[in-house]
Structure 1
Amino acid sequence: MELRSDHFHSGLDMRTEGREGLDVKAAGDGWVSRIKVGPWGYGKALYIDHPNGYTTVYGHLSEFTGAIADTLLARQYRARSFEVDLEIPKGLLPVKQNQVVAYSGNTGGSGGPHLHFEVRRTSDQHALDPERYGMDVPDDVAPIFSGLRIDPLDSTARVQPYPNGALGFVVAATGNGFALKDGAVPEAIGTVGFSVNVIDRYTNSSSTCGIRSLKVTVDGVPVFSASLEEVDFGLNRYANAYMDFGLFKENDMHYNRCYKLPNNKLKVYGAEAGQGRITVTSGEEKRVAIEAVDPNGNRSELRFTLRGVTAEKAATWPMPTVQGQLFRYDRENTIANSTARFTLPPMSLYADERIVLSTDTTPGKAAAMRYAPLVRLHDRLTPMHLAGQLSLKADVARAGKHADKLLIVRVDEKGKIKPVGGTLSSDGWISSKVKAFGDHTVMLDTLPPKVTAIGLKPVMTGRNSIILQVSDDLSGVDQWKGELDGRWILFEYDPKQKMLIHHFDRYSDRPGKHELKMEVRDERGNTGKLTARFSR
Structure 2
Amino acid sequence: MPKPLFFLVLLVSNLRIQAQSATVFPQEYFRNPLGVPIQLSANFGEIRKDHFHMGLDIRTKQRENLPVYAAAGGFISRISIQRYGYGKAIYIQHPNGFTTVYGHLNGYYDTLSHYIIQKQYTDKQWEQDITFSPGQFPVEKGQFIAWSGNTGSSGGPHLHFEIRDTRTGKNLNPLLFGMEVEDNIPPVLEGLYWFDRRYSTYQTSPKPIAIVNNKGSYQLKGGGDTLHIGSPRISFGVRAEDRTNSSSFLFGIYEAGLWMDDSLRCYFQVNNFSYPDSRYVNGSIDYATFLHTGKGIQHLSRLPGNELSIYNTDDNNGVISLTDTLPHTVRILLKDVEGNSTVMQYMVRYDSTLQEDLFFTMNSVAVPPNQPYNINEQEVKASFDAFAFYDIVPFVLGQQPRQQWPQASSQALLHNENVPVHDMYTVQLPLQPVAANYTDRLVMQLQSGRYRLYQKAQPASNGWFSGSFNRLGNVQLLVDTVPPSITPIGWKDNQVFTTQSSIRVRCSDNIDEVRNFNAYLDGQWILFTHSTYDYIYTFDEHCTLGEHVLSVSVQDLAGNTSVREFNFIKKEPNGNNKRRK
TM above 0.5, yes or no, is: yes
Match of 2:214 in 1: 174
Match of 1:120 in 2: 164
Letter in 1 for 2:501: N
Shift of 1:436: 0.3
CA distance, structure 2, for counterparts of residue 172 and residue 357 of structure 1? 43
Q: Secondary structure of 1:201's match?
A: strand
Q: Secondary structure of 2:250's match?
A: coil
Shift of 1:267: 1.4
The answer to whether 1:410 aligns with 2:446 is yes
Shift of 1:230: 2.5
Q: 1:362 to 1:425 in 2, by over 3 A?
A: closer
The answer to whether 1:218 aligns with 2:241 is no
The answer to whether 1:343 aligns with 2:383 is yes
Corresponding residue to 2:374 among 323, 334, 353 = 334
Match of 1:4 in 2: 48
CA distance, structure 2, for counterparts of residue 430 and residue 156 of structure 1? 33
Q: 1:155 to 1:271 in 2, by over 3 A?
A: closer
Match of 2:184 in 1: 140
Q: TM-score under structure 1 normalisation?
A: 0.90
Corresponding residue to 2:113 among 60, 63, 69 = 69
Tell me how large the CA RMSD over aligned residues is. Answer: 2.6
Corresponding residue to 1:43 among 63, 66, 87 = 87
Shift of 1:307: 0.8
Match of 1:227 in 2: 269
Q: 1:531 to 1:369 in 2, by over 3 A?
A: same
**Which sits farther off after the overlay, 173-182 or 51-60?**
173-182
Q: Secondary structure of 1:208's match?
A: strand
> Is the Cα contact below 8 Å between 1:15 and 1:115 reproduced in 2?
yes
Corresponding residue to 1:439 among 453, 468, 474 = 474
The answer to whether 1:398 aligns with 2:434 is yes
CA distance, structure 2, for counterparts of residue 318 and residue 188 of structure 1? 10
Shift of 1:266: 1.4
Shift of 1:10: 1.6
Match of 1:352 in 2: 392
Match of 2:550 in 1: 516
The answer to whether 1:294 aligns with 2:374 is no
Superposed CA deviations along residues 477-502 of structure 1, whole A, max 9, x for unmatched, are: 111222222222222223x2x11122
Match of 1:272 in 2: 314
Shift of 1:514: 2.8
Q: 1:369 to 1:126 in 2, by over 3 A?
A: same
Q: 1:382 to 1:417 in 2, by over 3 A?
A: closer
Q: Secondary structure of 1:372's match?
A: coil
CA distance, structure 1, for counterparts of residue 94 and residue 498 of structure 2? 43
Shift of 1:180: 2.6
Q: How many residues align?
A: 520
Match of 2:134 in 1: 90
The answer to whether 1:493 aligns with 2:530 is yes
Q: Secondary structure of 1:477's match?
A: coil
Q: Give % identity.
A: 29
Letter in 2 for 1:475: D
Corresponding residue to 1:30 among 52, 60, 74 = 74
Superposed CA deviations along residues 141-169 of structure 1, whole A, max 9, x for unmatched, are: 21111222222334599x9x99xxx8421
Shift of 1:67: 0.9
The answer to whether 1:448 aligns with 2:490 is no
Q: 1:475 to 1:428 in 2, by over 3 A?
A: farther
* 1:471-482 to 2 correspondences below 5 Å: 471-482=508-519
CA distance, structure 1, for counterparts of residue 265 and residue 453 of structure 2? 43
Superposed CA deviations along residues 117-144 of structure 1, whole A, max 9, x for unmatched, are: 1122222232222223342223232111
Superposed CA deviations along residues 48-70 of structure 1, whole A, max 9, x for unmatched, are: 22333322211111111211111
CA distance, structure 2, for counterparts of residue 176 and residue 402 of structure 1? 64
> Is the Cα contact below 8 Å between 1:145 and 1:172 reproduced in 2?
no
Q: Secondary structure of 2:235's match?
A: strand
> Is the Cα contact below 8 Å between 1:421 and 1:475 reproduced in 2?
no
CA distance, structure 1, for counterparts of residue 215 and residue 79 of structure 2? 51
Match of 2:288 in 1: 246
CA distance, structure 2, for counterparts of residue 233 and residue 239 of structure 1? 11
> Is the Cα contact below 8 Å between 2:77 and 2:133 reproduced in 1?
yes
Q: Secondary structure of 2:511's match?
A: coil
Match of 1:281 in 2: 323
Match of 2:196 in 1: 152
Shift of 1:94: 2.2
CA distance, structure 2, for counterparts of residue 287 and residue 128 of structure 1? 34
Letter in 2 for 1:445: D
**Which sits farther off after the overlay, 230-239 or 287-296?**
230-239
Shift of 1:285: 1.7
CA distance, structure 2, for counterparts of residue 422 and residue 186 of structure 1? 53
Q: Secondary structure of 1:266's match?
A: coil
Q: Secondary structure of 1:346's match?
A: coil
Q: 1:53 to 1:275 in 2, by over 3 A?
A: same
Letter in 2 for 1:432: G
Q: 1:199 to 1:320 in 2, by over 3 A?
A: farther
Shift of 1:470: 0.8
Shift of 1:233: 2.0
> Is the Cα contact below 8 Å between 1:148 and 1:196 reproduced in 2?
yes
Q: 1:320 to 1:17 in 2, by over 3 A?
A: farther
Match of 2:560 in 1: 526
CA distance, structure 1, for counterparts of residue 248 and residue 90 of structure 2? 29
> Is the Cα contact below 8 Å between 2:264 and 2:313 reproduced in 1?
no
Match of 2:11 in 1: none
Corresponding residue to 1:387 among 409, 415, 424 = 424
> Is the Cα contact below 8 Å between 2:82 and 2:152 reproduced in 1?
yes
CA distance, structure 1, for counterparts of residue 177 and residue 207 of structure 2? 39
Letter in 1 for 2:250: T
> Is the Cα contact below 8 Å between 1:281 and 1:309 reproduced in 2?
no
Q: Secondary structure of 2:184's match?
A: coil
CA distance, structure 2, for counterparts of residue 288 and residue 469 of structure 1? 58
Shift of 1:318: 4.9
CA distance, structure 1, for counterparts of residue 269 and residue 143 of structure 2? 35
Q: Secondary structure of 2:559's match?
A: coil
> Is the Cα contact below 8 Å between 1:291 and 1:300 reproduced in 2?
yes
Q: 1:30 to 1:448 in 2, by over 3 A?
A: same
> Is the Cα contact below 8 Å between 2:431 and 2:464 reproduced in 1?
yes
Shift of 1:512: 4.2
Q: Secondary structure of 1:139's match?
A: coil
Shift of 1:337: 4.3
Q: Secondary structure of 2:277's match?
A: helix
CA distance, structure 2, for counterparts of residue 326 and residue 533 of structure 1? 63
Letter in 1 for 2:358: M
Shift of 1:390: 1.4
